[in-house]
Amino acid sequence: MGSVPGNRFMARLRKAGCQSGFWLSSASATVAEVAGGAGFDFAVIDAEHSPNTITTILDQIRVLEAASVDPIVRPGANDAIRIRQCLDIGARTILVPMVNTAREAEEAVRATRYPPAGIRGVSMGHRAFGYGRRANYLREADAEICVIPQIETLEAVANLEAIASVDGVAAVFVGPADLTADMGLIGQTDHADYRALLADIAHRCSALGVRFGTLAAGADQARARRALGAGFVAAGTDIGLLRQATDALVGYLGTHGDER
């Protein structure tokens, strides 16, 4: 158990094509297990807009790994302590919310690296270390950690090249909800102005040789984002699919509310 497992998600980012994923917000390992069985390349475990705790994140990492689905963890903030906890339980790809400047991207990368390259605290008894059995972990871990800043504001878009060029940044992720809100188009992820901005981001990332990813509202939007050259797209969410399915079922069956 000496060597650190390779980061398959990060390795695939370096190749052509687009990885398909799913978004998990329910804080349920059972839901993650069901979704993982579908055969996605990756799944994002969200701790920014969900009731996830470090324990529920760990449970979901375990079931996704068992299904050979690469877990991506989004901590609640660009915070060294939260990032450290995610790394210690075994996350190797960190999606960092609300990164607006190169300096903030540098802080995120430093939170994932051991000294002297960064500020990650050293412990030898955690899960990523194999509970003390992974002898090479401290030497090899940094190279397998994938840091992805989220581009979610017009300020971040303006600083895209600087953010994407930070050493240790593996890709960028365009957050559609917050970015459309900052544009004055809250919730309008198919608006022509947003689509034009996304196309511009895609062009600039291509010029930099940096992959970008995003979240799509369903299969049609996912295909459109892939056509722009996205390297990874989460094509749906657990909460969204459950809501759609239950609404459709009630609409089909009807209710007896008027008889109660």
Catalytic residue positions, numbered: 49
In 89-228, where does DSSP find H-type helix?
102-112, 137-140, 154-158, 160-164, 176-182, 192-208, 219-227
Strands 171-174 and 42-46: what pairing? unpaired
Of 129, 114, 118, 148, the residue nearest 5 (C-alpha): 129
Q: What CA–CA distances, in Å, run from 161 to 101, 196, 230?
A: 10, 18, 16
Rounded to 5°, angle at Cα 3 from 81 and 93? 40
Q: Contact, 177 vs 183, CB < 8 A?
A: no
Amino acid at 130: G
